[in-house]
Amino acid sequence: MTKQKPEAAVAQTEAFNQAVLDWFSGSGRKDLPWQQNPTPYRVWISEIMLQQTQVQTVIPYYLRFVAQYPDVATLADAGVDQVLHLWTGLGYYARARNLHRTAKQVVQNHGGEFPHDVEALETLPGIGRSTAGAIAALSMHIKAPILDGNVKRVLTRYFAIAGYPESSAVKKQLWTVAESLLPEQKIAAYTQAMMDLGATLCTRSSPACYQCPLTSDCQALAGDTIAEFPGKKPKKALPVKAVSMLILRNEAGHVLLEKRPDSGIWGGLYSLPEQAANDTDASPEPGWVAYAESGLQINPLTLEPLPTIRHSFTHYNLDITPLLSQGWKLEADDATVADSDRWLWYPLDHSVEVGLAAPVKKLLTRLKPD
């Protein structure tokens, strides 16, 4: 049994449809090339081209394409290289390959006619639920919802639907809403109107609400929260790596810096000698000597931990614990620092001009020059 909508919901849906259709009859786009003789084939080509691409860019490509391949049979007969050649410049070439595969399947499996059924359309290569809905509604007048980027923007704002629209829960909610709003009549005009509203009025950064037919009930407009919809993609928590950096100061107060290898992070810049953070977690016996990764010999009991700082890279955060040692002297048998191309005693008045790794610069500016 079909679920009955409560009367208030029916009235709201009808008011929404009427507002959208009235606006479309006065202000919607009606002269786009694929709106003339909107056969399933012509609508399908336009919908695929319009994925990821602006209308103005698509128009000349579309006109050339349908002039060369006026129907699904001519496209199915073409070589894939010819199709790709016509697509050159539009980008996302998988779309062209899928177009060609779909044309062949329509000819071979459906007698050259696109199926009059959204689920069957969705089984064809490159046709998702929204594209199937658009082909069905615009060319076959089937009552089917669409949910392209423009429609998602309008619906998330109008109903103040929070969350990232590509997440499965929000997407499911949006499909339910889109379906519940479909009018009984004029499905093609309504579908085009919803696309046009999003493309021309309810734009991403500066929606023209003063011209919009939905102003009276738009929740984002009423709450002054338009910029919050559609919700942004949640940021992934970045993994955290930890390292200790040795701030070894000599009797003059200068800090020992090490030049990093040319490749890798901070390539060719000067940085503090590092050691794996865990090396200092142990409770060393007096006289225990740590060997930092840089080959220096250090007594960990002389190291004073300073507050940890975080440096963010694109793919991870690096927690740096500075370990300070004042009045540090070379061990008699430590010849490492004699290699002056690699090591530098850096004066904290910054009078030596060298490239410093960003967090090192930050750490050094916090130290008092002696």
209 versus 301: smaller Cβ distance to ligand SF4: 209
- Binding of ligand SF4 by 178 (CB under 6 A): no
- Binding of ligand SF4 by 216 (CB under 6 A): no
Question: Is residue 47 among the annotated active site residues?
Answer: yes
Catalytic residue among 14, 47, 113, 285: 47
Q: Which amino acid is at 260?
A: R
Q: Which residue has the tokens 């009552």?
A: 143
276/165 Cα distance (integer angstroms): 42
CB of 357 to ligand SF4, least distance (A): 45
CB of 64 to ligand SF4, least distance (A): 34
CB of 176 to ligand SF4, least distance (A): 18
Site for ligand SF4 in 295-324 (CB under 6 A): none
Total residues at interface with ligand SF4 (CB under 6 A): 14
- Binding of ligand SF4 by 220 (CB under 6 A): yes
Please answer whether residues 159 and 219 qualify as being in contact, where contact means their C-beta atoms are separated by less than 8 angstroms: yes
Closest CA to 244 of 303, 170, 159: 303
323 pairs with which residues across the strands?
Answer: 246, 305
Measured CA to CA in angstroms, residue 296 lies from 56, 250, 300, 302, 346 at distances of 64, 14, 12, 14, 17
361 CB-contact burial (10 Å; exposed 0-12 / middle 13-18 / buried 19+): middle
3-class DSSP state for residue 27? helix
- Binding of ligand SF4 by 212 (CB under 6 A): yes
Which secondary-structure segment (H or E) carries 298?
A: strand 297-298
CB of 130 to ligand SF4, least distance (A): 19
Using the rule CB under 6 A, give the single segment among 48-56, 94-102, 200-208, 334-342 that binds ligand SF4. 200-208
Using the rule CB under 6 A, give the single segment among 40-48, 168-176, 220-228, 297-305 that binds ligand SF4. 220-228
Q: Sketch the per residue contact string, 136 through 175, with ligand SF4: x for CB under 6 A, - otherwise.
A: ------------------x--xx-----------------
Measured CA to CA in angstroms, residue 294 lies from 12, 178, 248, 334 at distances of 71, 61, 13, 12
137, 221, 272, 360: residue in contact with ligand SF4 (rule CB under 6 A):
221
Q: What is the dihedral of CA 39, 42, 44, 49, to 10 degrees?
A: -160
- Binding of ligand SF4 by 194 (CB under 6 A): no
Q: Which residue has the tokens 């000067």?
A: 270
- Binding of ligand SF4 by 202 (CB under 6 A): yes
218 versus 246: smaller Cβ distance to ligand SF4: 218
Q: What is the dihedral of CA 370, 252, 285, 273, to 10 degrees?
A: 90
Q: Sketch the per residue contact string, 223 through 242, with ligand SF4: x for CB under 6 A, - otherwise.
A: ---x----------------
Which residues participate in catalysis according to the annotation? 47
Q: Which residues bind ligand SF4 (CB under 6 A)?
A: 154, 157-158, 201-202, 207, 209, 212, 214-215, 218, 220-221, 226
